[in-house]
Chains A and B, each alone.
Chain A
């Protein structure tokens, strides 16, 4: 059995089928890209995996266990962390407190949680901003804090939802480095991203979807040259 696997995953909002019969696998410690045009259902897939929406049909298996019947917070305890496309900082908390909150996922001891949070923020190169109020951060730092917060829950699988959108090229380059560093620490990553430069650069494999259905999968270069993918993004001639 694969590290992470969805089988015939389907989500319908009334008559609109946002995710349609989607089966895919992710192997341990790879970076898997999930791409597709706007509205193709990428974020919906994340919301299904983390149980924000109930699944219409299909199953999700993570490390040999079925997770699709679990509530969101238990999915996190199972070891799936996520970030949000529209960032959700805990605004009236400091950066350190934000990350401490998520570190409490694995401990009840404040000192342990604090040490763990500081460690993660060092890892994400935010150690100089521990006491900044979360609401005062720039968008780049908010996205970075969001990653730090997900990491502090000690996930085995990390879902990154457009963590590069809206960043400067400099910040993007730093972000790519951070994602590589996370993978090297042994965490498997599924990444949704619109910036092709980023996706092509860091992914081991890519799954491309449109209208909630798979249209292509393979290595970055295979997908980039796939006729169906080009048509989905640019339209037919």
Chain B
């Protein structure tokens, strides 16, 4: 079993390595690069929310801090934005520690709301601290490569590293402790688990990888502004959607969710490649909202979590008698 899943993972990796060599269109390469970046963000969000039970509405903080770390390397330090790939993770981790220090004294929906509020604070600071961040003007850098290939392989490397690290963590003491905190924080404390310490550790790993993704985004896109990288809708909510649709609390869920969501987003943005009327592209927020409602109603464990059920439905067998009975 263990060997089989390793083989599947290596097989997938090989497919992804071959893909851009076969598919020469920059458009599809771009979509895959963005999807791979979302694998990183979704998996990170999932570590904190899906596994540790601390649902964050503020992952844009880490993405933004990562992206701005890279951008400011160029605008203020005059060095390559690639240094941001080193700096972005640790800087995001610092902001994660700050967030945790404030928010982990709250539980449940109060925690969610606090993360949401602090993310807005970061966005506003990025807008108004013009000397440092260039404000709404944003940061524009000259990207290093014209070809998509280097970016593609970097994104693939990041995604693989992130998924691999998280799957390793979840098999270790940390993983057990994270899930224990999600299931029952009071019981966890009685078992010798410092919930504050382990929630902070989970948040640190999560923010580190999200920051890396942010730094990558700066280097790849060449332009950021606060409304994009600190966006509640485009980053924080999207991170939640990616993990929820794919399957929160599973290793592969966010990876699948990233591809589903990025493809959907692209379909709507392009009005189904021009086949649908133009207003469709304006309705994508509405469509995503409906999608979430339907997903929670019929597929609460996401594509990966409910995969056996979906398979049964498709092969028209009787639904499995599930012992689930709620959660």
Contacts and interface: CB of A to CB of B under 8 A. Distances in A.
Contact of B183 (A50, A90, A104): A90
B187 A133 contact: no
Interface string B143-164: 0000000000000000000000
Nearest to A82: B190
Interface stretch (B26-34, B134-142, B170-178, B264-272): B170-178
B194 interface: yes
Nearest to A72: B189
A59 interface: no
Interface residues of B, number: 22
A82 B188 CA distance: 12
Interface stretch (A22-30, A94-102, A175-183, A210-218): A94-102
A90 B323 contact: no
A88 B186 contact: yes
Contact of A102 (B191, B194, B249): B191
A71 interface: yes
B192 interface: yes
B180 interface: yes
B173 A113 contact: yes
Contacts of B86: none
Contacts of A7: none
Contacts of B190: 50, 72-73, 76, 81-82, 84, 88, 150
Given A84-B187, A91-B327, A101-B191, A108 B173 contact: yes
Contact of B323 (A77, A84, A105, A136): A136
Interface string A211-228: 000000000000000000
Interface in B185-215: 186-195
A93 interface: yes
Contacts of B48: none
B179 interface: yes
A84 B185 CA distance: 13
Interface string B291-327: 0000000000000000000000000000000010001
A90 B179 contact: yes
Contact of B171 (A71, A84, A110, A133): A110
B184 to A, nearest CB: 5
Given A90-B183, A92-B327, A71 B176 contact: no
Contacts of B172: 108, 110
Contacts of A150: 190
Given A90-B187, A92-B327, A136-B323, A153 B192 contact: yes
A101 B189 contact: no
A91 B191 contact: no
Contacts of B189: 52, 71-73, 76
A108 B180 CA distance: 15
A149 B191 contact: yes
B187 A104 contact: no
A100 B192 contact: no
A76 B183 contact: no
Contacts of B323: 133, 136
A84 B184 CA distance: 12
Interface of B: 171-173, 176-177, 179-180, 183-184, 186-195, 249, 323, 327
6 contacts: A52-B189, A76-B191, A90-B180, A91-B327, A101-B180, A105-B192
Q: Which 6 A-B pairs have the closest CB atoms?
A: A88-B187, A105-B192, A76-B192, A90-B183, A72-B189, A102-B191
